[in-house]
Structure 1
Amino acid sequence: MPRAARPCARSQRRRLAGSPRHGRHRHESHLAFNLPRRSHGNPGTPRPDGPADALTLLRADHERIRQLFGAFARLRGMDDEDERKAGLIDELCAELITHGLLEEEIFYPALRAASGDDEMVDEADIEHAGVRELVAQLEVMYPGDEHFEATVAVLAEEVEHHVAREEGEMFEAARAAGLDLDRLGHKLAERRRQLEEDIDPAGGVIDAMAPREGMRIARRAPD
């Protein structure tokens, strides 16, 4: 019988559920991302205080995600390794889904309209779908389960590849297209606040594989 998704480590948190992805296995050694060591108690990078442009905000999100992967890789051999890994994966999955929503609702549509490069944005959308698929698999796995470490390793590789392309090709395209990055940054910050406040208080499940219309998080009103 399939095991239910593990409960989130924090109350009033989104939970992400979905079906497994098969056939890809990598080694955990890819997880370190060549990051400087940080204490496990504070793996994240603070987001900029006050107004920031869109690329600064997205880059800060990327760095926080990198730090969470780095913290995960440093847990090997600790007495409470499995418990800590479960908590970090809960946090990482929520961060990835929130960040993906911000890009898909605000940054990608603006970049598509300004640059006219549908192929570039379509490829980013497909990469996001792959990340959501892996997140859905991890939400029904536990540390120590078969393929748990390999699934995290594949997720780390896919995220790093996506982030590198985004911070290179896509950020450059955003600058070249003349996007109002300050205005876009304000919209991203406001939408993040909405997403973080609009967590289902009953602790219900958000299916990471379901269409956006099926999510409890309210979609952003069109401009």
Structure 2
Amino acid sequence: MGHGGTVIEELTTDHREVEELFAKIEALPPGDEKRKKYAEQATIELVRHSIAEEEYLYPAVRAHVPDGDELADRELEDHKGAERLMKDLEGLNADDPAFDRILTSLIQEIRTHVSDEEGNLFPRLKEVLPRLELTDLGDKVRQAKKTAPTRPHPAGPHEPPALKAMAPGVGLVDRARDMLTGRGKGQE
């Protein structure tokens, strides 16, 4: 979290960090409890990342990229699907047969989403916004990730202004729950 640079550099670094967690998961045998720990860490990172994109990236895409509304709507649908999968994973243990099935679906969905963002959305945004504006968006995304929720909330809003109003309060509750339960800690 908080890597610096433009919004594209920030979010691409997030993508690489989540992919590293996915690789750790895939290197472990089914049922290994560490798979659950890594999945929880990936969920924390994905939720914070998604909230920041929904607050700042997609509004910029809508405002500046030709066909930006259609592009942002498609990305938001991806987020909603991933969030439902993360919510389904939340209550499962690593040895539950459904855990691996849902986790595999989540990993596949995130990889497809990342490929689309990096191959389509990011280049199109880079074409229309100067580096200074992309850096300003990067700063906003970094700030949003600091207060964003860490747990999936599929029924919550996915677009500003409701998202911007809700995210910090829900994020505070999520981080308090994480601290009390130790969720997301002790991965290595």
User: TM class, shorter-chain normalised?
Assistant: 0.7 to 0.9
Please state how far the C-alpha of 1:216 moved relative to its aligned partner.
6.1
Please say if 1:76 is aligned against 2:29: yes
Match of 1:112 among 42, 62, 72: 62
Please say if 1:208 is aligned against 2:159: no
Map of 1:133 onto structure 2: 84
Map of 1:99 onto structure 2: 49
Please state how far the C-alpha of 1:93 moved relative to its aligned partner.
1.1
Using structure 1 for the length normalisation, give the TM-score.
Answer: 0.66
Cα contact 1:115–1:177 (8 A) shared by 2: yes
Secondary structure of the structure 1 residue equivalent to 2:97: coil
- Where does structure 1 lack aligned partners over 5 or more consecutive residues? 1-45, 200-205
Separation of aligned partners in 1, 2:105 and 2:59: 27
Using structure 2 for the length normalisation, give the TM-score.
Answer: 0.77
176-185 or 161-170: bigger deviation: 176-185
- Where does structure 2 lack aligned partners over 5 or more consecutive residues? 171-188
- The correspondence of residues 14-29 of structure 1 with structure 2, limited to 5 A, is none
Runs of 4+ in 1 over 6 A off after TM superposition: none
Cα contact 1:141–1:148 (8 A) shared by 2: yes
Separation of aligned partners in 2, 1:216 and 1:189: 14
Please state how far the C-alpha of 1:146 moved relative to its aligned partner.
2.1
- RMSD of aligned Cα (Å): 2.3
Q: Which one has the largest radius of gyration?
A: 1
Please state how far the C-alpha of 1:207 moved relative to its aligned partner.
5.5
Secondary structure of the structure 2 residue equivalent to 1:144: coil
In terms of fraction of residues, the more helix-rich structure is 2
Report the identity percentage: 27
Match of 1:87 among 3, 22, 37: 37
Please state how far the C-alpha of 1:100 moved relative to its aligned partner.
0.5
Please state how far the C-alpha of 1:63 moved relative to its aligned partner.
0.4
Distance verdict in 2 for CA 1:136–1:170, change over 3 Å? same
Secondary structure of the structure 2 residue equivalent to 1:52: coil
Secondary structure of the structure 2 residue equivalent to 1:217: helix
Separation of aligned partners in 1, 2:21 and 2:2: 14
Please give the per-residue CA displacement for 1:10-45, whole angstroms capped at 9, x wherever unaligned. xxxxxxxxxxxxxxxxxxxxxxxxxxxxxxxxxxxx
Map of 1:158 onto structure 2: 109
Please state how far the C-alpha of 1:96 moved relative to its aligned partner.
1.0
